[in-house]
Structures are given as C-alpha cells and as structure tokens.
Chain A
Amino acid sequence: MAIPDADIYPTATGRALETVKQHQNSSQADIIFYAGWFCPFVQRVWIALEEKGISYEYREENPYHKDPEFLKISPKGLVPAIIYQGQPIHESLVILEFLEEAFPNTKPLLPADPYARSQIRLALDHISKSILPSFFKLLQSQDPTSQSTARESLYKSFSQFGDGIKGEYWAGNEISLADIALMPWAGRLYILEENREFDIERTGEKFKGWAQRIIKHPAMQNTASEREHYAQIYGRYLRDEAQSEAAKATRNGGVIP
C-alpha cells in the first residue's frame, strides 16, 4: 500500500545537504549510517557522529519503503541504523551507547564517573517516558481539550528536565547524551509554537535558556534541513494522518518504538 508518507522529499537540503555531500566516501568510513533526513531520532545519532568526528558514510533510507535489503539491517525497517565492521545496530539510544564504547578515543558524550553517567541516563529515561510521548500527543491531538492536556504535560516535563540542568549543557560544561537525545525536538518546537500555541515561557528559565542555546549548536545546524521541507511531513502529524511508527503508537496509546 503506497502511503503519502512514502512520498517525502527525497534528500536533505540546506546545511544538512552540505554535510551529506561530505560523507559519501565509503572507502574511508568506519560507519555506514542509514538515515532519514527528516527524522529526529536519526538526528540524535547524526549529531553524535559529528561531535565525535567519526568517519561515516551517509545513506538516505526512506523508512516508509521497507526495502527488503534494509530490513536485514534494521528488522523493523526503522532509521537510524548503522553498520560497523559489517555488523548492524538499530535503536537510537543503543547506537549512542555503542558509539561511546566502540570509539573510546573520540570526544566522550558521557562522563567517566559512574554516578554522573547514571544521572544522564535518568535524563534519557525522562525524555523517553515523559517528554517525547507528550510532544507527539500535542502534535497529533485534534481537539482543544486533548491539546491543552498534552501541552500542560509537556510544559511540566520540559520544566523537570530544566531542573536538572547544571551549566551551559545539561550535565555542565560539556555536551552529553542528555542534550543530544533531546536536541532534535528543541529544533522542532517551532512547529508547536506555530500550530499548537506552545509558549516556551511556560517551561521555565532553565529549559528555555538551554533550548535557545542548543539549537544554535554547530552539530545541530549542520544536520538540519530547510524548514519548508519539514512542513510536508509535520503537516501530516498535525492532522493526525502520519503513518510513522511513532505517530501510530501515539494514536493507539502504545509504546513509541
């Protein structure tokens, strides 16, 4: 069944396209990176690869096509996925932990101390369990009451994330997975501002400051495409017609894969 979501603009644009073009040489690459230019979960891994300076080959993979060859790499057909030394890994958070362990001589995105690492992982847990479900609910809800409930939950969960911020970045002076796991959604807040009456002032000074700083981060800007191209996709979420796994899970009250 052909779904409109399969008919997305086929490539990155703007600054992201420049980055894509710089990562087309497979002979040099340690990682093959299967990406959807528009996907926030992909952007997490993309930002990490850029921050760590890992050499990668960028391959555009439309997750709505469910290409049989790609299903061998990523069984649910989801992006992001990577191949390292011939072996595939999927799931953005699993990939992020893997990059820390497989590339120890690159910029670390987790501190060395086990307790500090546990606090960052708690932030990741909060993002997955509280922030993202509310974000998608607000995006996709059609009636004002549901939107209001989701919006208030989102303010609260952003504010809680803000409470934990210890410096310029979530964990202090250095960027970590706690920032990276949420950055792509900070970059998509404008959709909620323009369409769902999202008011960043309601998230508290700490979160607001973090969000405004983080979207200017070089790795964020280098992996972001032109806004007009995102509109085609997010229009479908706003009308609750989107067919991504995240959208379907939000509609059905299930788990976001």
Chain B
Amino acid sequence: MPDADIHPNATGRALKVVEAHQEPADLMFYAGWFCPFVQRVWIALEEKGIHYQYKEENPYHKDKEFLKVSPKGLVPALVHNDKPIHESLVILEYLEEAFPNTKPLLPQDPYTRSLVRLSIDHTSKSIIPTFFKLLQSQDASSQDSARSSLYEALQKWSDGMLDGGKGPWWAGEEMTLADVVLMPFIGRLYILEENRAFDLSRTNEKFSAWVKHALAHPSMEKTSSERNYYAQIYNRYLKNEAQSEAAKATRSGGVIP
C-alpha cells in the first residue's frame, strides 16, 4: 500500500541526529522518522541525554522480527538490555524510572506528578482524537465541528498550566512529560493551518506563547525532518486515505492505539 512507500529516512536536522546514533548501545530505539508518537520518545531521549541506537523501522511493513519487539508492529518501541517495550506513554514513564540519574521529566512531588498525568490524559482523550478528526474530515461541517473542539481542548490544556501559567513550560520553569506528549502535534499544526483553516489566535495567549517556545526548543528542532517529506504522508491523511492505526481508528470511530 502507498503508506508503505514513504521516504525511507529522516532528513534535515533529524538526519544528523540519526547519523550520530548508529553505534550499538544498551538501548535500541525503533522509530519512524515521520511519526508524532515516536517524536515524543525521541525528544525525551535527547532531553535526558540517554545513549541510544536509532533504528528506522517502517511500521507499515510489519516486519516479522519487529513484531517480536512490538506485537502490534507499532513504533515507537525500544529494547533496553534485551527487553522490549512499546507504547509511547509507557516508554516515557519507563525512561523516568530506568534512568533516574538523568534530567527528570516528571516533578518529584506525587501531587504535582498526578497533575502532569492528568494533563497527559487530557491530551490523549481530548486533543489527539480531535486533531486527527480535523485532519481527516472531508466535509466542511465535520471540519468546523472538529476545529471548534480542538480550540476548546487546547484552551483547556493551557488553563491547566501550573505556576499561574507563566511558563515557559506547562508546569512552569521545567519541561515535563506534559509538554513532551503534545509537542510533536504542535509541530504539525502548520498542516492544519495550511489545509484546515486552523487559526492559532483562536486559542489563547498562554497557549500561543507555549507553542512558540516549544517549536524553537532544541530537542524539537533536532528531531524534525524537512517539511516537504512530511507532505507525502499528511496528504494521505488530508484525503482520508491514510492507513496508519491512528487514521483507521479515527475513520471508524474506534480507539487510537
């Protein structure tokens, strides 16, 4: 299928990072250069300075060896000391626990950690499904409905910002997983701006400021490829022809895996 025929590797800034991570390491990172869920883990690995080997894995090929690592054949996945883990959110929590001497992406205090997790829950349940719905909806009425829901969900996200919302990150001075899980989708807002009349000014100032800061952050830029290569993939979503698990779930009204 056409989705299996994507440009085979990262480009631009991301390619340099890929090339710098080809030596064997205790942690093997299975990635699709174009995938926003992959980019979450990639950003975390870079922020935490964890030593990893990057392996490009096309999730549309469903390679038999890879299915042993990630049973649904999905990226991101990692193998650490020969043990496999998949699911971006599970991987992110694992990195916090397995690498305690690296920069923490969760606060120390249990209550504040629970607030970060509530923000992640909001992103998963309210922002991401609406993002995909807007991307894939074909008629104006469905697009309008999805767009309004997305504005609302993004405003709600920024309403939850800690420390009075003064930023620059969701929890205040320090970056946390609340930022990491949303950043890749923010890096793809331009697709909605160019094709679905998404207008960032319809969210609010706090959110816009956070977006600007996040997009310019080094680990975001280092894990992003050249925009023209994303276009091949996102055009399929815009025509609602994409065959990723996320796209299929959005079409059928099911759960995004």
**A residues at B contact (CB < 8 Å):** 84-85, 87, 89-91, 93-95, 97-98, 101-102, 114-115, 117-119, 121-122, 125, 128-130, 133, 252-255, 257
Contacts and interface: CB of A to CB of B under 8 A. Distances in A.
B97 interface: yes
B114 interface: yes
B1 interface: no
A98 B89 CA distance: 16
The 7 A-B pairs of least Cβ separation, nearest first, read: A253-B253, A114-B97, A101-B110, A102-B110, A114-B98, A98-B114, A118-B94
A133 to B, nearest CB: 6
7 contacts: A84-B111, A93-B121, A97-B113, A121-B89, A122-B87, A130-B255, A255-B125
Interface in B96-127: 97-98, 110-111, 113-114, 117-118, 121, 125-126
A130 B118 CA distance: 21
A89 B90 contact: no
Given A87-B111, A89-B114, A97-B117, A118 B253 contact: no
A55 B85 CA distance: 35
Interface string B77-97: 000100101110111011001
B7 to A, nearest CB: 29
Given A121-B90, A133-B254, A254-B253, A94 B117 contact: yes
Given A90-B118, A122-B86, A255-B129, A98 B98 contact: no
B121 A115 contact: no
Given A85-B111, A91-B117, A98-B110, 9 more contacts: A91-B121, A93-B121, A98-B111, A118-B90, A121-B89, A122-B85, A122-B90, A125-B89, A129-B255
A255 to B, nearest CB: 5
A209 to B, nearest CB: 22
B121 to A, nearest CB: 5
B156 to A, nearest CB: 9
Interface in B232-257: 252-255, 257
A148 B255 CA distance: 19
Nearest to A132: B255
Chain A interface secondary structure, helix, strand, loop or mixed? helix
Given A254-B253, A255-B255, A257-B125, A97 B97 contact: no
A85 to B, nearest CB: 8
Contacts of B129: 254-255
Given A91-B118, A97-B117, A122-B90, A102 B111 contact: yes
A101 B114 CA distance: 10
Interface of B is mostly: helix
B255 A133 contact: yes
A98 B109 CA distance: 10
Interface of B: 80, 83, 85-87, 89-91, 93-94, 97-98, 110-111, 113-114, 117-118, 121, 125-126, 129, 252-255, 257
Contacts of A125: 87, 89-90
Contacts of B85: 115, 118-119, 122
B176 to A, nearest CB: 14
Contacts of A94: 114, 117-118, 121
A101 B126 CA distance: 26
Most buried by B among A115, A252, A253: A115
Contacts of B80: 115
Contacts of B83: 115
Nearest to A120: B90
Nearest to A121: B90
A130 B245 CA distance: 13
Nearest to B156: A75
Nearest to A99: B110
Contacts of A122: 85-87, 90
Nearest to A129: B255
Nearest to A252: B253
A95 B87 CA distance: 21
A93 B118 CA distance: 10
B28 to A, nearest CB: 15
Contacts of A121: 87, 89-90, 93-94
Nearest to B112: A87
